[in-house]
Amino acid sequence: MPDAGNIRIDGHTLLAGVIGWPVAHSRSPLMHNWWLRQGGINGAYVPLPVAPGQFETAVRGLLAAGFRGVNVTIPHKESAYRIVDRLHRSARRSGSVNTLVFDSDGKIEGYSTDGDGFVANVEAHGIAVNGGRALLLGAGGAARAIAASLLDRGMEVLVANRTRARADALAASLEGVVVVDWAQAGSVLPGCAMLVNTTSIGMEGGAQAQFPLDLAQADPALVVCDIVYVPRRTGLLEWAAGHGLRTVDGLGMLIHQAGLGFEKWFGAKPDIGPAVEALLDADLRHPRARDAG
């Protein structure tokens, strides 16, 4: 956990945070405050529990109070998209906003860092993202952001979702996405270079449904990614490893997408490497210790 004794708070402190409801579970304050201490930056990053219906009021207040910006999480991402004055291309492409930057002119800029954070994490594992076919499971905001970033890098993107209508809506709003029926997803797997789970299946305390796939039919070069990071080794990743396939867990995506916002708010590139990964991994392994703090 952040050591409050090492965080200097004064009239020059740069402020940012994460807005959600609830937000107590977020690891973002731990990560950002560690980066601030490591960089010797006079800044602080705080959790901001904001109830539904109060989002715009809260954001306007933070802007007036001199915050540099905020991350936005459930259930406020759609509200964030509507409130911004300027949408970055990443947000327009993904149709979602997870990072707000408050400019000196009083305007609010909206970014989506999920897609580029996902790609950066995959590339950090030594895997090139520059072509081939990807199968995405799920059709929510994260899926759309990831799909947009993969399309921008020349990949073909197939999407399968348990509710077909949501996949169709994603494809209608993002040119180049091809929808596959959930039950038929396994039929396209042999031609894929990447499989990405963006659903809550496998998440601790979440859905435990079965995937409509047989990894034994996959190309041996298939890379299996899961954006879930609690637990880090999801059932899907264990299954893939058992078939000798390369795997990428979701913790690195969390770190990389956070780093993009940190740089915009605090004007410095954070240390995205094994040290911060170890910090978060230790916290994930000891949730009771975190909650007790």
> Whole-number mean pLDDT of the chain?
92
Q: Which of 112, 130, 145 is the last residue of a domain?
A: 112
Q: Residue 243: is its pLDDT beyond 80?
A: yes
* Top-confidence residue, 204 or 81: 81
Q: Which tens digits make up the pLDDT trace of 194-230? A: 999 999 899 886 667 889 999 999 999 999 999 999 8
Are 74 and 104 in the same domain?
yes
For residues 182 and 138, what is the distance between their CA atoms, to the nearest angstrom?
9
Give pLDDT, residue 257.
95
Q: Is residue 17 part of a domain?
A: yes
Q: Is residue 105 part of a domain?
A: yes
For residues 170 and 148, what is the distance between their CA atoms, to the nearest angstrom?
10
Are 99 and 8 in the same domain?
yes
Binding-site sequence positions for NADP(+): 138-142, 161-166, 227, 250
Positive or negative: CA dihedral 99, 103, 108, 111: negative
Are 246 and 122 in the same domain?
yes
Q: Residue 168: is its pLDDT beyond 60?
A: yes
Q: Provide CB contacts within 8 A for 250, sequence distance 6+.
A: 225, 226, 227, 228, 229, 232
Q: Is residue 292 part of a domain?
A: no
Confidence band, pLDDT 50/70/90 cuts, at residue 6: low
Q: Which of 112, 147, 176 is the last residue of a domain?
A: 112
Binding-site sequence positions: 26-28, 73, 98, 114, 138-142, 161-166, 227, 229, 250, 257
Are 66 and 126 in the same domain?
no
Tokens matching residue 214: 């047989």
Are 71 and 125 in the same domain?
no
Residue 74: give the domain boundaries. 4-112
Are 136 and 51 in the same domain?
no
Q: Which of 72, 93, 112 is the last residue of a domain?
A: 112
Q: Is residue 262 part of a domain?
A: no
Q: Look at the chain and report how many structural domains it folds into.
A: 2
Are 128 and 107 in the same domain?
no
Assess contact for 227 and 219: CB atoms under 8 A: no
Q: Is residue 103 part of a domain?
A: yes
Nearest to 38 by CA among 287, 288, 273: 273
Q: Is residue 263 part of a domain?
A: no
* Top-confidence residue, 74 or 60: 60
CA distances from 210 to 159, 202, 269 (A): 17, 9, 40
Q: Residue 41: is its pLDDT beyond 60?
A: yes
Q: Is residue 126 part of a domain?
A: yes
Mapping DSSP onto H, E and C, the string for the chain reads: CCCHHHCCCCCCCEEEEEEECCCCCCCHHHHHHHHHHHHCCCEEEEEEECCCCCHHHHHHHHHHCCCCEEEECCCCHHHHHHHCCEECHHHHHHCCCCEEEECCCCCEEEECCHHHHHHHHHHHCCCCCCCCEEEEECCCHHHHHHHHHHHHCCCEEEEECCCHHHHHHHHHHCCCEEECCHHHHHHHHHHCCEEEECCCCCCCCCCCCCCCCCHHHCCCCCEEEECCCCCCCCHHHHHHHHCCCEEECCHHHHHHHHHHHHHHHHCCCCCCCHHHHHHHHHHHHCHHHHHHC
Are 150 and 73 in the same domain?
no
Are 78 and 147 in the same domain?
no
Q: Which tens digits make up the pLDDT trace of 109-134? A: 999 999 999 999 999 999 999 999 99
* Catalytic entry in 77, 107, 264, 269: 77
Helices 274-285 and 251-266, axial angle in degrees (round to 10): 120
For residues 251 and 41, what is the distance between their CA atoms, to the nearest angstrom?
24
Give pLDDT, residue 291.
40
CATH at 202: 3.40.50.720
Are 35 and 100 in the same domain?
yes
Instruction: Identify whether 107 is a catalytic site residue.
Output: no
Binding-site sequence positions for shikimate: 26-28, 73, 98, 114, 229, 257
Are 9 and 99 in the same domain?
yes
Q: Residue 25: is its pLDDT beyond 90?
A: no
In sequence order, the β-bridge partners of residue 45 are 16
Q: Is residue 146 part of a domain?
A: yes
For residues 125 and 108, what is the distance between their CA atoms, to the nearest angstrom?
34
For residues 59 and 146, what is the distance between their CA atoms, to the nearest angstrom?
26
Are 45 and 165 in the same domain?
no
Tokens matching residue 172: 């209608």
Q: Residue 150: is its pLDDT beyond 80?
A: yes
Q: Provide CB contacts within 8 A for 54, sequence distance 6+.
A: none
For residues 225 and 98, what is the distance between their CA atoms, to the nearest angstrom?
21
Q: Residue 293: is its pLDDT beyond 60?
A: no
Confidence band, pLDDT 50/70/90 cuts, at residue 75: confident
Q: Which position has the token pair 């009021």?
A: 57
